[in-house]
Amino acid sequence: MNDRELHRHRLSWLIPYKYRAIYPCLLLQHNTHEPTEQQERRERSAQHTTTSGSTRMARWAIAIHGGAGVDPNLPVHRQEEAERVLARCLQVGVDMLRSGAAALDVVDAVVRELETDPCFNSGRGSALTRAGTVEMEASIMDGHGRRCGAVSGVSTVRNPVSLARRVMDKSPHSYLAFNGAEDFAREQGMETVDNSYFITEENVGMLKLAKESNSILFDYRIPLAEAAASESHTNGGMVMNGLPISIYAPETVGCAVVDSSGHTAAATSTGGLMNKMTGRIGDSPLIGAGTYACGHCAVSCTGEGEAIIRSTLARDVAAVMEYKGLPLQEAVDFCVKERLDEGFAGLIAVSGTGEVAYGFNCTAMFRGCATEDGFMEVGIWE
């Protein structure tokens, strides 16, 4: 333990737990340049664990997200809808953790719930390719042993995240894609549906708009009239891979959990980009980029997939904790600030000792978190 860590460790003993949120400047000295309310927000969202000598007792914690990058003009009723879905899915995870469920089972179940609701871009309600079809991808990782499974190009499997878990548990591989993933799902007797099940009328309209403007659309749940009016966003505005982005709000879903045994797990699922090329693969199924879990933490990312891939963002959070010795929130802040270059993204994370953290460098991120001591939060903006 270096001098700075020793100083922080001593402070954590000097300040009673219930008062730590009142003195964030003492425990989070790296954030003294931030506004006081942001310090307090970060302190409230961190679940501090008890210590006994050098042994830290794990407490369960959960974080979920529904995508980073939200249009500031998103209608209020759509914000409220997203928050209701997040709160419901978060409660599913909380109930499981209270009953003693394992982290891996929790992330699987929570992401399944998110995939089933068309509010976000995963499972039913996924973004459409240029061909008007749905190609979904997902990954899951067990921090206990760092086992993992991932799928891409899934078009008929009702819950891609559970197929990713089946790849991890029942195959000799870590990653299956397109026909191979579909064939394996049928061999395993997993529930399949017609591709039309995942397609919504609203998404068909947004694909038409995207083609007309030759754009990749992210927040395709902005009503069509408002999205058409927002074309000015593309004039000299944000660009990804050389193409204009009408509204930046990729709505990938994800979950990160540490259970009462201190085991971590993470899962991420998405339909990708509206009007994407067929065969495009983003960060969500890539272990170390969109998803990662180990003894230090569990992470799920969302945002500009190509930037997340280049930065191996999820793994980098764990690496910064392991090699630089940073606590969770500092590691998240460092990676979001230093590793994305000009990309836009966000992430959620939990530590193996029960902390929760999140970070993003865009307008907002749909997210929620809860900890064993009763703290629960659902939010969108900073």
For residue 217, the model assigns a pLDDT of: 53
In angstroms, the Cα distances linking 343 to 5, 27, 262, 281, 310 are: 31, 30, 32, 17, 10
Give the Cα separation of 311 and 38 in Å (integer). 26
Give the Cα separation of 299 and 96 in Å (integer). 19
Strand-pairing partners, residue 243, are 240
For residue 238, the model assigns a pLDDT of: 47
Taking CB atoms within 8 Å and a gap of at least 24, the contacts of 276-279 are: 276/127, 276/129, 276/130, 276/135, 276/216, 277/129, 277/130, 278/129, 278/130, 278/131, 278/133, 278/135, 279/135, 279/153, 279/178
Q: Which of 65, 75, 171, 77 is nearest to 110 (CA)?
A: 65
Give the Cα separation of 85 and 228 in Å (integer). 26
For residue 1, the model assigns a pLDDT of: 53
Give the Cα separation of 270 and 121 in Å (integer). 6
Classified as helix, coil or strand, 380 is coil
Q: Which residues of 69-212 form beta strands (DSSP E)?
A: 136-142, 147-154, 175-177
**Which residue numbers are catalytic?**
252
Q: Tens place of pLDDT for every residue, the chain, 382 residues?
A: 555 444 444 333 333 322 233 223 323 333 333 344 444 444 544 444 332 223 345 699 999 999 987 777 778 998 999 999 999 999 999 999 999 999 999 999 999 999 999 989 999 989 899 999 999 999 999 999 999 999 999 999 999 999 999 999 999 999 999 999 999 999 999 999 999 999 988 888 878 877 776 655 544 344 444 444 544 444 344 443 334 444 333 479 999 999 999 999 999 999 998 888 899 999 999 999 999 999 999 999 998 899 999 999 999 999 999 999 999 999 999 999 999 988 889 999 999 999 999 999 988 899 999 999 999 999 999 7
For residue 28, the model assigns a pLDDT of: 31
Q: What is the pTM of this model?
A: 0.80
Residue 207's region, left for phi above 0, alpha for psi from -120 to 50, else beta, is: alpha
Q: Which residues are annotated as a binding site for substrate?
A: 280-283, 302-305
Structural domains of the chain ordered from first start: 3-44 (no CATH), 55-198+247-379 (3.60.20.30)
For residue 214, the model assigns a pLDDT of: 66
